[in-house]
Amino acid sequence: MSSDCLFCKIVAGEIPADVIYESDTAVAFRDINAQAPTHALVIPRKHISTINDIEPEDQAVIGSLYIAAKEIAAEAGIADDGYRAVMNCNEGAGQSVFHIHLHVLGGRTLSWPPG
């Protein structure tokens, strides 16, 4: 845990969140500023700052984020219509919280490419 990390505090239960999924390695909660009818953030319990900081030993943890994403999508009823699972890396791509998180977005038509 990184003591000054917002998402580590959510994992630890120190900051409330609308948690919708938990596994040994991942936690998911609703984005506080939802950009779609379904907008969840899937994060590893382990603090990893950016995609650039992922190490080979994190492969299973990263895979578990996608297992969470597909289960969230199925639960939300958006799996067949389609959804997006996207992770921003660093400020230039819009990352604002430096604990990696997979955005799971769906429930509306999503344009491509993102802005």
Q: Interface with ligand 5GP by CB under 6 A: which residues?
A: 6, 17, 29-33, 41, 88, 94-97
Selection from ligand 5GP, Zn ion, none that 8 binds (CB < 5 to 8 A by kind) is Zn ion
Strand partners, 30: 40
> How many C-beta atoms lie closer than 10 Å to residue 29's C-beta?
20
Would you call 101 a catalytic residue per the annotation?
yes
Question: What is the rounded (10 degree) CA torsion for 98, 4, 26, 56?
Answer: 60
Tell me the per-residue interface mask from 27 to 66 with Zn ion, x by CB under 5 A, - otherwise: --------------------x-------------------
Closer to ligand 5GP by CB, 80 or 91: give it: 91
User: By three-state DSSP, how is residue 40 classified?
Assistant: strand
